[in-house]
Amino acid sequence: MKTILIGTTNQGKVNDFKQLLEKEGMQVLSLRDLDDAIEVEETGTTFAENAILKAETLSRYYNQIVIADDSGLEIEALNGRPGVYSARYAGEHKSDEDNIKKVLAEMEGIPFQDRKAAFVCVLALAIPGKETKIFEGKCHGYIAEIPKGNNGFGYDPIFYVPEKEKTMAELSLEEKNELSHRKKALDKLKKYWDEHLQL
């Protein structure tokens, strides 16, 4: 069984990856599973820069195939914010709830049709001795006026998905994975894998 290290300690992201990769017969490990996990500082200004930085650093250190992602929320009315700062938008040690409150405060008074947003995920695949590849996925929606739903994590409670008429946090994990930004990026990665690697 092929082992893949996911370069994150975020349990929500790990669950998403396990759901998508384990049915392909891959063993998914995350930094939470390692006793000597190293932390890679995200100093990039784009999702791609951060994903590549994490994947290449971890792949070199552990001599292991690594998938690292950087993902976040881009809101049109906020000129693309919170963007790469999505996880720490309300401050370094704030919670998902604090981040949501900050976004909703900044969006106050903006009509629904102008609340367009996208979840963006960039995956970097680093394989020892090979060139790093990146894959991007996007999920388009709107910022809801109030949080709804108890599933998911991050901004899921305020990300309204028009085709489902629900927020991301009101969807089951299966429904979310059908349309999520991470699923779209991972589909591209798997297509590349099947065509070029067959590891």
Q: Which amino acid is at 67?
A: I
Domain region containing 45: 2-196
DSSP letter at 47?
A: H
What pTM was computed for the model? 0.86
pLDDT digits over 138-180, tens only?
999 999 999 999 998 899 999 999 999 999 999 998 898 889 8
137 Cβ neighbours under 8 A, 6+ residues apart: 120, 121, 123, 180, 181, 182, 183, 184, 185, 186, 187, 188
Query: Known catalytic residue: 70?
Result: yes
The residue annotated as part of the active site, out of 16, 69, 70, 96, is 70
- Mean pLDDT value of segment 81-108: 95
- What is the CATH classification number for the domain harbouring 45? 3.90.950.10
Q: How many domains does the chain have?
A: 1
